[in-house]
Amino acid sequence: MTDDILVVNKLTKQFGGLKAVGGQGGLSFNVKRGALVGLIGPNGAGKSTTFNLISGVLEPSSGSVALNGKVISNIKSSEIASHGLGRTFQTPRAFTSLSVLENVMVGAGSTGERLTSVFSGSWRTDEADIKSKAIEVLQQVGLDDRIGDIVANLSGGELRMLEVARQLIRDPEILLLDEPTAGVDPSLQGKLSSILVDLHNEGRTLIVVEHNLHFLLRIADVVIVLQNGELLAEGTPNEIKNDQRVISAYLGDEYAA
Amino acid sequence: MNIEQLLLAVLTYGCLYSVMTVSLNLQYARGGMINFGTVAYFAAGAYAYAIFTQEPPSGLDQYAFGFNSPWWVGFIAAGVAAFLFAIVTGWPTLRLRGEYLALTTFAFAEVLHSIFLNERRIGNGSVGLSNVNRPDFSWIGMSDNYGFAGAAILLLMFTAFFCHRILASPYGRAIDAVRDDETAAEAVGKDIKRLRFEIFVISAVPVGFAGALYAMITTLVSPGLFTAEVTFFVWIALILGGEHTIKGAIFGTLALILFEEVVRSFNFETVRSAEIAASVEHIMTGIIFIMILRWQPFDRFTKKGAVQ
Amino acid sequence: MTLIAQYFVTGIVTGCFLILATIGFSLTRRVEGFLNIAHAELLGVSAFVTWGLNVKAAWPFLPSAIFAIIFTAVVGLVVGRLFYDPIRKLGPAVLLISSVGVAYVIGGSVDALVGTGIRTLNIPLATTYRFFGVRITDYQMIVVALAALTGLSLAVFMSKTKIGLAIGAMADNPELAASRGIDILQTSRATWLLSSGLAGLAGVVLALIATLSTDLAFHQILQILAVAILAGLGSLYSVMLAGLIVGIAMDMSVFWIPAGYRPLIAFAVVILVLLVRPEGLSGRKSK
């Protein structure tokens, strides 16, 4: 097993005439196994696009992404998900016709999802396991009191945590989180921060896109800074805090947060 | 027509058409796929049944095939025919969504209709196949009418059970997730193409069986019986019943069939007044359809992706 | 050789009719944002109003036609405001499904009032002319002339008049149009009137060149869909080109395949376009 769980190599994405990601030589960076990586940059830097490229929602114009040594930039996102990569979205997505518990259970992928097994009933034994695992995971993300609820009653922040729970039940090796603090009450951000640290301590690799730098710089091992789709800087939180290029890119404003 | 005959007709046709509505419920209400070609699978089943069970051509017959098989062979053939046609038409259309999927399924159904109408060797043209084999119910001691009503009820029960099992399993949960938000479903490893294709094809099979049953009852299959009207009837029945549940689908179909059979049972003095009644029925069906669509909006199916 | 030429010319006539039948449909699609299956029924309304006035009330043809077109335009407006506007927010798929219900209502009404059976207009018999071995009737030439005239007038209307420009803007980009101060409601009403009026015109043409029966309208929707899908979301010109292509393809196909399959060409066009190039000729992707 290599030390780098994720290798992004000269990745570019072009929309018509606009190069959203890649710039001159394409975007390249490596992610070490077990690291908590922060991905930051001003608006329009291409952070979510990069996530979309890694998770397979978008196909790269050129370049490649490798997960555990296997190239994933040419396979569909559902396959990538089954290789141990999970992600949440910038605007939280939920299955509105399923209950909160079902929203998490559906993440698990039971044997009952093969049409042939539907009628044999063998999936019933799995169901109980999946259910208890789902409850466990919901407790882990702090949604204990929502377990019997429906999606429509959840706040934006809770929907985000539901998404995380849905990914967690899959036990992903690497988890991409797109702006997890957005819409989350400042008083709850401490809780969120400890959830992420716990996941980190479990050995999972996390890549977190965040605008809330105060939040991120306290927990990240490595920070990658993007600007206009290109890599601006890479380093520890301290290094990045003092990096002139980064400061001028942000114009110093967001540090106040 | 007396009350007993009316009720029997409502029961028989109600259950037969309900099979199609339940199938559509699986495809649209749960699977999120707009299929405007339902009649094609119905027709495929009916014609397959007729071709397999009728006698080989003789004399002035223009059709080329007749295998003279027992009814149950024809029945199975009907399911297989619908299955195959669903594979052929389903596979290319799965990249399409919404109204575009509706159009291609509609177009494919019209293509099949055209083939049956023009290829005399297959379907005997516009005249149709009239030597359809009808199973005999005398060995159970029932008259044909009751026999077919019972058969329709049985078919509906099997179809409903089948669909319910699918929907109540993790598979059903996965289907609901795919319908609600494809991107999020993919993010948890759901193969949306496979799931949609499977639902599309598997739900066509009962429709084929219904076609076989229909052929048995009418003993005639002709292209005029399998027009887009059938598809729209099933759609209206689905909407009428409150498009999300199996029970609703059955209820909506029975209500619509009852409405039609009642209108049909009136004794009209002239051909003209019968025509007018049929037209008025058409208009009323349309109005009820529009009203239901307006006051029972499809919240679930229009909010895709991000939740407010 | 002349046979092919004959089919080609007939194809142009068919194509011109299809253009007339589809422009209105295409407008509704672009401005209101959905495929209005009931559009074809308006052709029936117009055709039978023309017939009713011309044959039953013994009006001369031209006044009957004009009245029919105006009547159809109004019917279309009423239908649009009454049935479609309240559910616009539910999305194009629901509107498409609803339009089936609307088609039932309109079609049922025409059926109830007119009854079954074949009808023809009270007009002089067609005179056939021969050019270079190809036969064409005066009515067919009128169809071609009308299509060209309509296309031209529409182009002028949409680029020179205020309401025409508004419709064009809405067809391209409703959000942008709204922010530029265009009265959405008024433009929407104008679009319903215009597209239904065009359907009315197509209905009159139908009455001229075809024998009328009450299921005629439904058979047209398949071909209208084919032309609209082939044209895509682009301008008037793509509709005209698509109409001609479908018309010519349909009529020339008779040379190679049995005549009964002629409508099949339209369906095949729909399937092929949607699978290969869903944006159609115009190449504009939907929002």
pLDDT of residue B180: 92
CA-CA distance, A137 to A168, in Å (whole number)? 7
DSSP element (H, E) containing C245: helix C236-253
Contact indicator for C183, C166 with CB cutoff of 8 Å: yes
Q: Residue ranges of the domains in chain A?
A: 4-94+171-256, 97-153
Mean pLDDT by 10 residues, chain B (308 residues): 83 94 93 92 93 77 73 90 94 80 89 86 76 72 82 94 91 93 92 92 96 90 89 90 85 91 79 83 87 66 32
Does the pLDDT of residue A207 top 50, yes or no?
yes
Predicted TM-score (pTM) of the model is 0.87
| Contact residues, chain B, for A93 at CB < 8 Å | 181, 183-184, 187, 305-307
Contact indicator for B212, B75 with CB cutoff of 8 Å: yes
Distance from CA of B100 to the nearest CA of C (A): 7
Neighbours of chain B (3+ CB pairs under 8 A): A, C
pLDDT of residue B39: 96
For the stretch A116-158, pLDDT in tens is 888 887 888 888 899 999 999 999 888 888 888 889 888 888 8
Confidence grade of residue A185 (pLDDT, cut at 50, 70, 90): confident
User: DSSP letter at A110?
Assistant: -
Distance from CA of C133 to the nearest CA of B (A): 31
For the stretch A58-73, pLDDT in tens is 999 889 999 998 999 8
Burial of A234 per CB tally in 10 Å (0-12, 13-18, 19+): middle
pLDDT of residue B302: 36
For the stretch B83-107, pLDDT in tens is 999 999 988 777 888 888 888 898 8
| Closest in C87, C260, C263 to B293, CB measured | C87
Confidence grade of residue A256 (pLDDT, cut at 50, 70, 90): very low
Distance from CA of C222 to the nearest CA of B (A): 8
| Contact residues, chain A, for B163 at CB < 8 Å | none
Cα C59 from chain centroid?
Answer: 25
CATH for B3-302?
1.10.3470
pLDDT of residue A44: 79
CA-CA distance, A38 to A196, in Å (whole number)? 12
CATH class of the domain comprising A4-94+171-256: alpha beta
Residue ranges of chain C with per-residue pLDDT less than 70? 1, 283-287
Distance from CA of B112 to the nearest CA of A (A): 28
- Please give the mean pLDDT across all residues of chain A: 87
User: Does residue B232 belong to the interface with chain C, where contact is any CB pair within 8 Å?
Assistant: yes
User: DSSP letter at C286?
Assistant: P
Q: Residue ranges of the domains in chain B?
A: 3-302
Those residues of chain C whose CB sits closer than 8 Å to some CB in chain B are 34-35, 83, 86-87, 90-94, 96-98, 100-105, 107-109, 111-112, 115-116, 218, 222, 225, 229, 258, 260-261, 263-264, 267-268, 270-271, 274-275, 278
Predicted-complex ipTM score:
0.88
CA-CA distance, A40 to A241, in Å (whole number)? 12
Residue indicated by tokens 């005239």: C149
| Closest in A96, A105, A113 to B303, CB measured | A96
pLDDT of residue A251: 61
Angstrom CA distances, B99 to A35, B108, B153, C29, C59, stand at 46, 14, 33, 12, 42
A/C Cβ contact: 3+ pairs below 8 Å: no
CA-CA distance, C172 to C175, in Å (whole number)? 9
Q: Determine how β-strand A70-71 pairs with β-strand A205-209.
A: unpaired
Angstrom CA distances, C244 to B148, C195, C237, C261, stand at 50, 19, 11, 18
Please enumerate in sequence order all residues whose Cβ is within 8 A of that of C48, keeping only pairs 6 or more positions apart, or say none.
C110, C113, C114, C119, C207, C212, C214
Q: Which one, of B102, B83, B113, B107, lies nearest residue B28 by Cα? A: B102
